[in-house]
Amino acid sequence: MGQNNLYSRKMIKREFNQPKLFKLLIEDTFFNIEKINMSFKKNTTIPLYQDDTEYVYYICNGIASVSIADEVFEFKGPYEFIGLSDSMINTNSEDFKITTIAETIIWRFIKSDVIAKIMSTQEGYLFHYLSMLDQYSFFTKKLMTMKKTHKERVFIALQELGEKFGSLVNHGNYVKIPPVFTRNLIAQYVGIGLTKLSDSLLTLQEENLIQVTSKREIILEIKSLM
């Protein structure tokens, strides 16, 4: 019987999500692996490779950017892994960089230990399978977004940031983009210059798709995230 017959996508996401994988990795009753709890200040580069060792990180608190050749590709937040499947996007370790954009608390694992422990469980491969599947879906969405106009790309990026990291405001009807996502960081993520970003934000504001406060905070209506 094929895997698709045994497990629906929803069931896999429910039973084999990243927090459950983290719980499996820190469990010491079997296959104990090396793990270190670490804290990083804002704007700290976290090494994915060091001394010929490849690492996997799990974020407990904070936000980190994933960059390729100094271009921000993705943001990772609490209850997410970095390095489990991200590194497949580029084989050159020098081009792949993780940088904290807020104070961040993480657990560090050696990747080979993580894979060994995952595969030691009866259905552990599903953890890795889902991680790879989600990363592939993200790549596909990212490529499709690049075909859109600057304004559309900016709005999509703001929707993503609002849904994933935003805080509720105005009686819960809107979300505010956290200030750690600076204009420069958003421009890098979208892949445009600061001037084009400013123009796009102004157009989105004129079209009432976003609000920009006097403190330059960006606010989106919740329904725009659906």
Contact 62, 44 (CB under 8 A): no
Give the pLDDT of residue 50.
87
Kindly state whether residue 26 falls inside one of the protein's structural domains.
Answer: yes
Place of tokens 């980190």: 64
The CATH number linked to 157 is 1.10.10.10
Residues 156, 112 share a domain: no
- Residue 128 in domain: yes
In a domain, 143, yes or no: no
Q: What is the mean pLDDT of residues 3-9?
A: 52
| Same domain flag for 154 and 122 | no
Band (pLDDT 50/70/90 cuts) for residue 187 is very high
- Does one domain contain both 157 and 117? no
Of 30-44, 71-85, 117-131, the range with the highest mean pLDDT is 30-44
Q: How far apart are CA 167 and CA 159, in angstroms?
A: 12
Counting the structural domains of the chain, the total is 2
Q: Are residues 112 and 217 in the same domain?
A: no
Query: Is residue 209's pLDDT more than 80?
Result: yes
Q: Are residue 127 and residue 179 in the same domain, yes or no?
A: no
In terms of Cα–Cα distance, which of 79, 84, 103, 98 is closest to 22?
79
Domain presence at residue 105 = yes
pLDDT at 225 over 80: no
Residues 43 and 93 in one domain: yes
Q: Report the pLDDT value the prediction gives residue 15, as an integer from 0 to 100.
A: 64
pTM of the model: 0.83
- How far apart are the C-alpha atoms of 129 and 170, rounded to whole Å? 40
pLDDT in tens, 97-129: 899 999 999 999 999 999 899 888 876 677 767
Q: Are residues 206 and 118 in the same domain?
A: no
What average pLDDT does range 72-90 have in this prediction? 80
Same domain, 13 and 74: yes
The verdict on residue 145 lying in a domain is: no
102 and 189 in a common domain? no
Query: Of 106, 96, 90, nearest to 48 (Cα)?
Result: 96
101 found inside a domain? yes
Residue 1 has pLDDT above 50, yes or no: no
3-state secondary structure of 165: helix
Domain that holds residue 67: 3-138
Cross-strand bridge partners of residue 57: 82, 108
Please determine, for residue 14, whether its predicted confidence score (pLDDT) is greater than 80: no
For residues 123 and 175, state if they share a domain.
Answer: no
